[in-house]
Structure 1
Amino acid sequence: MRRSLAVNPMTSPDTATALSWLDEAADVREAAGLHRTLMPRAADSDLLNLASNDYLGLSREPSVIAGARDALERWGGGATSSRLVTGTTTLHSDLEDDLAAFLGYESALVFSSGYLGNVGAVSALMGRGDLIISDGGAHASLIDGCRLSRARVVVVDRGDHAAVRRELGGRAEERAMVVTDSVYSIDGAIAPVTQLYAATRDHNAVLLVDEAHALGIRGAGGRGVLHEAGLSGAPDLVATAVLSKSLGSQGGVVLGSSAVRDHLIDRARSFIFDTGLAPAAVGAAQAALTLLRHRPELAVRVRSNAARLAQLCGGEVPEAAVVSIVLGDPGRALDAAQRCRDRGVLVGCFRPPSVPPGTSRLRLTVRADLTDDDITNVAEVVNAVLAEI
């Protein structure tokens, strides 16, 4: 049993409080193998990290750190307010222009996190009386945006574009949107964005695609799945991405037409009422984007590393940078992750609600800066742990 919450000295230890149910709920989670613990990471940790989303290894790149430092010294520690007051700097505007140009869109709008970007875009573009069709593999931030929109939401199986067509064709609502990830975050598979876009165009609907796990990994020079499919900047298409994965910084971005950007500035609550992204994060992302533009081989390298690791572990070659090893039981997955950590390799452990029940797994996120020896070491550790359990 977990230790009870501290009792208010003004009450009897036997007196129930309004939050007493938390202890029981915590015990239920622990019994199911779903209790989570924060594990602070030391700056000088010698663990080989395959649990982060720093896909290109840029978070510690000297030029990226220099970009953050320069912005910090020029603009200070924070944006100072929401972006509609004084929180928009010329640094923010320059990054938005560069992101739009690099990814192939008319305009871009930076949010203080990818989560807030997705929530803001979905809930501002759709509302009561509209229809949202949500792909079964959509990220939690898209799901929460659907809920906050108050639109009618239909969830279809992951990648089922035929079901999307049926729902769009049979709807009563005038306005509709389809939301999906381009690269599913759990296993790195690619969504059928071309078929989804064709379905939305045929039925006068909007397609919103989260490119969080595609930027820096797929497409020419890491420009994403939509660019790879020839859809960047297409009509009735909205893309979102993050600055916190391949760009090694923090923040999110929504890309689309200038009309979409103007609407979000006026209507997206997670933009209007949130403090702007800290200048240091903007400066780091700008430096990382510059580096990616000049080093397109990084995207090739990270996919090559992921393919090699998957092959050494006996799995299928992934389409992006995620190697997923399904173990089923959450306790078994947690045990395997700890055994890897004990051997010097940090891996992700995904359990419900991050994944469906019965599909708990190790999730290894590969980086472009891993050496061949690193990949071999990780494979040896993972294979040894899998043999033990």
Structure 2
Amino acid sequence: MTTTEVTATGIAAVDAEPSVATPADGQVALGWLAEEAARLRAAGLHREPVVRRTDSPMVDLASNDYLGLCAHPDVIAGGQAALAHWGAGATASRLVVGTTEAHVELENDLADFLGFPSALAFSSGYLANVGAITALAGRGDLIVSDTGTHASLIDGCRLSRARVVVTDRGDHRAVREALRARTEQRALVVTDSVYSIDGEPAPIAELHAVARECGAALLVDEAHALGVRGPGGRGLIAELGLSGAPDLIMTTVLSKSMGAQGGVVLGPDQLRSHLVDRARTFIFDTGLAPAAVGAAHAALRLLRADPAMPVRLRDNAARLARAIGAPPPAAAVVSLIVGDPHAAVAAAGHCREQGVLVGCFRPPSVPVGTSRLRLTVRADLDDATIDRVAQVVSDALTSVGVR
């Protein structure tokens, strides 16, 4: 096959690379997807979304509805009121007309509750983390992250184009070494406060001390600590007395303990202003839906009114862990390592058949060889339900040869 090109003396024939023939139906371009799907199935790593029904009799220990507020009448009413007043959607970016009075009121109340000068709400926790990191670090900067951080933090690091150093989970000494050895002027340390897979806390106090010593900022994702740890459920940062520290950024979500949807970044007033100017996931995304804003605000009022809810949650988690023979949990997650992904899927299936829905985590969510059942406990579970769940889960582990 030949092509032509225009030269100074006219049009000449030019040899071209032989083209690859493709079927008329175009199946070759995505034909590899079938092979990839087969590979994932063989490895026990294929996934299917779990479809819920409103009339499901299942006991839910898979969601992150830690305080059981998702279906609380006051939370539903809060969402309905905002829906009726503001409509179904925010209608535009928050810098156009997507910021309602409800958004600002929620942000102010969250900042007050969590002890920070300012808060900014995003459409999801994922977008909040990506937006915050990419607005705070870029080319010529350093980010120090660890191996336990959530995918949203990892993606924020990648998208920032900063140099990224990854340390072992919780290794604050390695963080200090990375910060001291840097040539970059600006540095950001990134971590979860409570790791999502096993519910273990990160050494936030040590990380903050190291970051301050080395002139770096610390960003802490409190998604699995809000409503779970700290005074009145204010999180691990508040528990350590670090709320409002000028060199500390808190991110969290409204989709777990708050039972709704959305993400939040909290910090100094200057941080909020900077994110409004520079966070692409805020600037170019439609604002958080008003119904989610109203529901989350109602949940926050319930948490303020009943600060013992997080205590009940942690007591329930401890009771379940004792009944199963698991180590005492530091938060609301009880993690049971199975090992083989096929066995983990089978154990989760056994639980489902017995009316208990549990999380099943496999690579890449967890390291190879550590596939597990992840049980997320709720504050509204009674003792009889917890005991029943413990028996079902124990039987499931026995059925796959783990116990």
TM-score (norm 2): 0.93
Does structure 1 residue 318 correspond to structure 2 residue 329?
Answer: yes
- Counterpart CA distance in 2 for 1:143 and 1:37 is 23
Q: Which amino acid is 2:188 matched to?
A: M
SS of 1:133 mapped into structure 2: strand
Q: Which amino acid is 1:194 matched to?
A: A
Match of residue 212, structure 1, among 223, 241, 244: 223
Map of 1:80 onto structure 2: 91
Match of residue 249, structure 1, among 260, 283, 302: 260
Match of residue 185, structure 1, among 193, 196, 212: 196
Map of 1:336 onto structure 2: 347
Match of residue 125, structure 1, among 120, 136, 148: 136
Map of 1:167 onto structure 2: 178
- Counterpart CA distance in 2 for 1:38 and 1:140 is 18
Map of 2:13 onto structure 1: none
State the shift of 1:322 in Å: 0.2
Match of residue 202, structure 1, among 195, 213, 237: 213
Match of residue 58, structure 1, among 69, 72, 77: 69
SS of 2:287 mapped into structure 1: coil
Over 4 Å off, 4+ runs: 10-13
Larger CA deviation: 105-114 vs 30-39:
30-39
User: Over residues 280-305 of structure 1, what are the superposed CA-to-partner deviations in whole Å (9 max), with x where a residue is unaligned?
Assistant: 00000000000000100100000000
Match of residue 349, structure 1, among 360, 369, 385: 360
Q: Which amino acid is 1:18 matched to?
A: A
Q: Which amino acid is 1:307 matched to?
A: A
Q: Which amino acid is 1:295 matched to?
A: D
Map of 2:55 onto structure 1: 44
Larger CA deviation: 17-26 vs 100-109:
17-26
User: Over residues 358-379 of structure 1, what are the superposed CA-to-partner deviations in whole Å (9 max), with x where a residue is unaligned?
Assistant: 1100000000000001100100
State the shift of 1:12 in Å: 6.0
- Counterpart CA distance in 2 for 1:87 and 1:205 is 33
SS of 2:198 mapped into structure 1: coil
Does structure 1 residue 233 correspond to structure 2 residue 206?
Answer: no
Map of 2:281 onto structure 1: 270
- Counterpart CA distance in 1 for 2:39 and 2:399 is 28
Q: Which amino acid is 1:355 matched to?
A: V
Match of residue 293, structure 1, among 293, 296, 304: 304
Match of residue 160, structure 2, among 149, 162, 168: 149
State the shift of 1:39 in Å: 2.4
Map of 1:34 onto structure 2: 45
User: Over residues 183-234 of structure 1, what are the superposed CA-to-partner deviations in whole Å (9 max), with x where a residue is unaligned?
Assistant: 0000000000000000000000000000000000000000000000000100
Q: Which amino acid is 1:297 matched to?
A: A
Map of 1:221 onto structure 2: 232
Map of 1:69 onto structure 2: 80
Does structure 1 residue 140 correspond to structure 2 residue 151?
Answer: yes
Q: Which amino acid is 1:40 matched to?
A: V
Match of residue 380, structure 1, among 391, 396, 399: 391
User: Over residues 257-291 of structure 1, what are the superposed CA-to-partner deviations in whole Å (9 max), with x where a residue is unaligned?
Assistant: 01000000000000000000000000000000000
Q: 5+ residue gaps in structure 2?
A: 1-21
Q: In the TM superposition, what are the counterparts of 1:361-376 in structure 2 within 5 Å?
A: 361-376=372-387
Map of 1:113 onto structure 2: 124
Does structure 1 residue 307 correspond to structure 2 residue 315?
Answer: no
Q: Number of paired residues?
A: 379
- Counterpart CA distance in 2 for 1:136 and 1:69 is 40
Q: In the TM superposition, what are the counterparts of 1:7-22 in structure 2 within 5 Å?
A: 11=23, 16-22=27-33
SS of 2:396 mapped into structure 1: helix
State the shift of 1:16 in Å: 4.9
- Counterpart CA distance in 1 for 2:114 and 2:204 is 16
SS of 2:297 mapped into structure 1: helix
State the shift of 1:347 in Å: 0.2
- Counterpart CA distance in 1 for 2:27 and 2:383 is 57
Q: Which amino acid is 1:286 matched to?
A: H
Map of 1:279 onto structure 2: 290
SS of 2:250 mapped into structure 1: strand
- Counterpart CA distance in 1 for 2:367 and 2:282 is 31
Identical-pair percentage: 65
- Counterpart CA distance in 2 for 1:92 and 1:178 is 29
SS of 1:254 mapped into structure 2: strand
- Kindly name which structure, 1 or 2, has the bigger radius of gyration based on alpha carbons: 2
Map of 1:3 onto structure 2: none
- Counterpart CA distance in 2 for 1:303 and 1:259 is 35
- Counterpart CA distance in 2 for 1:297 and 1:39 is 32
- Counterpart CA distance in 2 for 1:348 and 1:385 is 13
Q: Which amino acid is 2:184 matched to?
A: E
- Counterpart CA distance in 2 for 1:226 and 1:190 is 11
Match of residue 97, structure 1, among 108, 114, 134: 108
